[in-house]
C-alpha cells in the first residue's frame, strides 16, 4: 500500500499547475504526511549506499535535494493517533503523526529543515545530540524566538556525527512532549566506520508516556510522573508491530526515551551489546553482553545482536507496570482475600462490582470487563496458547529461517519443533526442596499440579492413581532423557547452578 506522498512525485511535478497555484509557498517543499499506523517499508532513496532504518509503526520523512542541500519540511500540528485497535487519542505530532517521521541522513549531509507551526501555541525544535551552530539548537527564548502559530522557521546545519538522535520542542516542553511532539533522527556513517557494524536489519522507535483517563481521548498535560500509557512510537501492545528478521541476521535496534522515567529494555533468547548512544558509537573495547539495558530519560541506546535463535521472542520494558494498559492503577491487592463473604454487601452498593484479583490478576487477561469507551484493557493480547496478559511497551522479535532478506512482513506465529514446548507433567516428581521451617502450602483447589507427596521415596512419590485419572489422559510422555531423576544422596538440598543440576 502506498502511504506516503513522496517528494520524488513533488519534484517531478514542480512545474505542474498545482505548484504554480502554491506560488506563495514555492520555496517550501510539500509537507509529506502519514496517518496510517503501520510500519512503512524502509525508504531507500536512489543512490543510497546505506541500509535504511525501519521505524516501528512509523516512517522516514522524504527530502528534496536543492543545490546540494537536503530539504525537509516538518509541520507541527494536532493529530489523531490510534494507539492500538480500539483506542484513538488526540496528540500533537509532525506531518500527520505522533511521533513525527524519522529524519534519515548521511554523515556530512547539509540539511535544511523548514518547520511550520500549526499548533495553537508557539513551539521550537531542538535537535537533540547534534553538533550544530548554537543558533540552530532550537531553545526558544535562548537561541531563537519561539515559532508562533502560523509561522515557518528554517534550521540549517551539517549532520556531523553518525548515530541516533531525537528531535523535540524546547518551548512549553512538558506540555508539548506530554502531547507526543517528538521524533527520531538517524545519521548513517558516510564511510566504513571502525565502530559501526553493517547490519541486515535496523529498527528504531521512540518511547513516550501519556496520561489519558479511561474513557477520554486527550492526555492530561499537567501530569509529572503518574502516566498510564507506556508507548513505543505512541503505540501500545498489541498495536506495536513485531520486529521480523531472518535467522542469522545482524540486527540493530535504536531506542530513544522521551518519557519521564527509565525503561530497562529486555530481549528474550539472545544477548546483545550496546553499540552506540546519542553520544556516538561505543568503542568495541567498552562493550559488554547484556539481555537488559536501561534507557534513562533523555537517552538513546543502540543494541545489536545476531538473531540466531528461531522463535517469537519477547522484547519489552522490564518494569512490569509498563507492559500494562491504562487500568493498572488503583487496583487493590486482593491476593489471598476471599471476597465471596463481602460480595453481596459490595454489590448492593456498587452493582457492577466484580470480585477479582484474589488469585492474582491474570483473570484480567481473559475477562471481558465492561470498559469505558475508547479504553484499552489492562492486560490483553492473545497468542497461540492463550492470553498474553500484556499491554504497553511489549512487542516480539520474530526470527525465522524462511524470512527473505529485506522482507519485513510479519511471518505469523512461530511453529515450534515437536517436543520443544513446555507442557503439563503428570508423571513422577522429585520432592520439591523447601526452605527450612516453612509450612507446606495447602494445595489450591483448582491447581492440577497439587501434589500428594508422602515420605521421601522420590522414585514413587508421584501423584496417586487418582491424580492420573483426573488429568492424565492427555498427558504427553516426555522423552526418556527428560525424565526427572531423584537427587543423588549426599548432595546438598540447595544446589548452585555451577553443579550442572537442573533443580530450579
Beta-bridged to residue 473, according to DSSP, are none
Report the residue number, 319 or 458, with the smaller CB distance to Cu ion: 319
Report the residue number, 4 or 235, with the smaller CB distance to Cu ion: 235
Report the residue number, 113 or 255, with the smaller CB distance to Cu ion: 255
CB of 257 to Cu ion, least distance (A): 9
263 near Cu ion (CB under 5 A): yes
For residues 168 and 182, is the Cβ–Cβ distance under 8 A?
yes
Integer CA distances (angstroms), 305 to 150, 249, 397, 410, in order: 45, 8, 12, 20
CB of 352 to Cu ion, least distance (A): 31
Report the residue number, 74 or 324, with the smaller CB distance to Cu ion: 324
CB of 265 to Cu ion, least distance (A): 8
Report the residue number, 321 or 434, with the smaller CB distance to Cu ion: 321
Report the residue number, 33 or 395, with the smaller CB distance to Cu ion: 395
What is the phi/psi pair of residue 344, to 5°? Answer: -55, -45
- Binding Cu ion by CB under 5 A: which of 322, 377, 394, 426? 322
CB of 228 to Cu ion, least distance (A): 12
User: In terms of Cα–Cα distance, which of 236, 220, 199 is closest to 54?
Assistant: 199
Report the residue number, 266 or 359, with the smaller CB distance to Cu ion: 266
Report the residue number, 75 or 274, with the smaller CB distance to Cu ion: 274
Name 248's Cβ contacts closer than 8 Å, sequence gap at least 6: 306, 307, 308
254 near Cu ion (CB under 5 A): no
Q: Over 416-476, what HEC string results?
A: CCCCCCCCCCCCCCCCCCCCCCCCCCCCCCCCCCCCCCCCCCHHHCCCCHHHHHHHCCCCC
Report the residue number, 128 or 322, with the smaller CB distance to Cu ion: 322
Buried/exposed 353-375: b ≥16 CB within 10 Å, e otherwise: eeebbeeebebbbeeeeebeeeb
For residues 228 and 326, is the Cβ–Cβ distance under 8 A?
yes
Cell readout for 385 is 496458547
319 near Cu ion (CB under 5 A): yes
Binding mask 403-422 for Cu ion (x = CB under 5 A): --------------------
Per CB under 5 A, the segment of 188-196, 310-318, 437-445, 487-495 that binds Cu ion is 310-318
CB of 259 to Cu ion, least distance (A): 7
Report the residue number, 234 or 403, with the smaller CB distance to Cu ion: 234
CB of 392 to Cu ion, least distance (A): 8
Integer CA distances (angstroms), 145 to 133, 157, 420, in order: 16, 18, 62
Q: How many residues bind Cu ion (CB under 5 A)?
A: 4
CB of 206 to Cu ion, least distance (A): 13
Angstrom distance (rounded) from CA 223 to CA 393: 19
CB of 318 to Cu ion, least distance (A): 7
Residues 213-242 that bind Cu ion (CB under 5 A): none
- Binding Cu ion by CB under 5 A: which of 186, 303, 317, 361? 317
316 near Cu ion (CB under 5 A): no
CB of 415 to Cu ion, least distance (A): 31
Per CB under 5 A, the segment of 1-9, 103-111, 279-287, 322-330 that binds Cu ion is 322-330
CB of 246 to Cu ion, least distance (A): 29
170 near Cu ion (CB under 5 A): no
Report the residue number, 320 or 464, with the smaller CB distance to Cu ion: 320
Q: Over 395-407, what HEC string results?
A: EEEEEECCCCCCC
Per CB under 5 A, the segment of 70-78, 104-112, 321-329, 438-446 that binds Cu ion is 321-329
Torsion, Cα of 36, 9, 72, 179 (10° steps): -20
Report the residue number, 91 or 207, with the smaller CB distance to Cu ion: 207
Q: Is 84 helix (H, G, I), strand (E, B) or coil?
A: strand
Per CB under 5 A, the segment of 66-74, 195-203, 294-302, 318-326 that binds Cu ion is 318-326
Q: Is the peptide bond before 420 cis (omega within 30 degrees of 0)?
A: no
Name 366's Cβ contacts closer than 8 Å, sequence gap at least 6: 386, 387
Residues 14-73 that bind Cu ion (CB under 5 A): none
Torsion, Cα of 414, 419, 421, 427 (10° steps): 160
Per CB under 5 A, the segment of 190-198, 303-311, 314-322, 370-378 that binds Cu ion is 314-322
User: In terms of Cα–Cα distance, which of 180, 317, 320 is closest to 258?
Assistant: 180
Summarize as ranges the residues that interact with Cu ion (CB under 5 A). 263, 317, 319, 322
Amino acid at each position: 500500500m502506498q502511504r506516503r506522498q513522496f517528494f520524488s512525485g513533488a519534484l517531478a511535478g514542480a512545474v505542474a499547475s498545482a505548484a504554480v497555484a502554491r506560488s506563495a509557498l514555492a520555496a517550501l517543499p510539500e509537507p509529506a504526511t502519514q496517518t496510517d499506523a503501520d510500519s512503512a517499508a524502509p525508504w531507500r532513496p536512489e543512490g543510497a549506499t546505506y541500509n535504511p532504518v525501519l521505524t516501528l509503526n512509523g516512517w522516514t520523512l522524504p527530502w528534496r535535494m536543492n543545490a546540494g542541500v537536503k530539504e525537509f519540511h516538518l509541520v507541527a500540528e494536532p493529530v489523531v493517533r490510534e494507539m492500538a485497535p480500539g483506542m484513538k487519542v488526540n496528540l500533537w505530532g509532525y506531518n500527520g503523526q505522533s511521533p513525527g517521521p524519522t529524519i534519515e541522513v548521511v554523515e556530512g549531509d547539509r540539511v535544511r529543515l523548514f518547520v511550520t507551526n500549526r499548533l495553537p501555541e508557539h513551539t521550537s525544535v531542538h535537535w537533540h545530540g547534534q553538533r550544530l551552530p548554537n543558533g540552530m539548537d532550537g531553545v526558544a527564548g535562548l537561541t531563537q524566538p519561539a515559532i508562533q502559530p502560523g509561522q515557518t522557521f528554517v534550521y540549517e546545519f551539517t549532520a556531523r556525527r553518525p548515530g541516533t538522535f531525537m528531535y523535540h520542542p524546547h518551548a512549553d516542553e512538558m506540555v508539548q512532549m506530554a502531547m507526543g511532539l517528538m521524533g527520531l533522527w538517524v545519521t548513517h556513517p558516510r564511510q566504513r566506520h571502525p565502530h559501526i557494524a553493517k547490519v541486515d536489519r535496523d529498527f528504531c522507535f521512540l518511547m513516550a508516556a501519556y496520561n489519558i483517563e479511561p474513557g477520554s481521548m486527550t492526555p492530561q498535560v499537567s501530569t509529572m510522573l503518574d502516566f498510564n500509557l507506556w508507548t513505543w512510537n505512541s503505540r501500545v501492545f498489541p498495536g506495536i508491530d513485531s520486529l521480523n528478521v531472518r535467522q542469522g541476521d545482524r540486527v540493530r535496534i535504536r531506542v530513544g526515551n522521551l518519557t519521564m522515567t527509565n525503561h530497562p529494555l529486555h530481549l528474550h533468547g539472545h544477548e546483545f551489546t550496546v553499540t552506540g548512544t546519542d553520544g556516538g558509537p561505543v568503542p568495541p573495547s567498552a562493550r559488554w553482553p547484556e539481555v537488559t539495558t536501561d534507557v534513562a530519560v533523555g537517552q538513546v541506546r543502540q543494541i545489536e545482536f545476531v538473531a540466531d535463535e528461531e522463535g517469537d521472542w519477547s522484547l519489552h520494558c522490564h518494569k512490569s507496570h509498563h507492559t500494562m494498559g491504562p487500568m493498572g492503577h488503583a487496583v487493590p491487592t486482593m491476593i489471598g482475600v476471599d471476597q465471596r463473604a463481602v460480595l453481596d454487601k459490595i454489590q448492593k452498593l456498587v452493582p457492577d462490582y466484580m470480585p477479582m484479583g484474589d488469585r492474582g490478576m491474570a483473570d484480567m487477561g481473559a475477562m471481558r470487563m465492561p470498559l469505558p469507551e475508547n479504553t484499552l484493557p489492562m492486560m490483553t493480547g492473545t497468542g497461540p496458547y492463550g492470553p498474553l496478559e500484556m499491554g504497553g511497551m511489549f512487542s516480539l522479535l520474530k526470527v525465522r529461517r524462511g524470512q527473505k532478506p529485506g522482507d519485513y512482513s510479519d511471518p505469523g506465529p512461530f511453529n515450534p519443533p515437536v517436543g520443544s514446548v513446555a507442557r503439563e507433567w503428570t508423571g513422577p516428581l522429585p520432592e520439591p526442596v523447601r526452605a527450612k521451617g516453612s509450612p507446606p502450602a495447602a494445595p489450591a483447589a483448582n491447581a492440577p499440579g497439587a501434589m500428594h507427596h508422602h515420605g521421601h521415596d522420590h522414585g514413587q512419590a508421584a501423584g496417586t492413581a487418582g491424580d492420573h485419572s483426573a488429568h492424565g489422559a492427555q498427558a504427553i510422555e516426555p522423552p526418556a532423557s527428560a525424565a526427572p531423576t531423584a537427587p543423588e544422596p549426599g548432595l546438598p538440598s540447595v544446589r548452585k547452578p555451577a553443579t550442572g543440576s537442573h533443580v530450579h
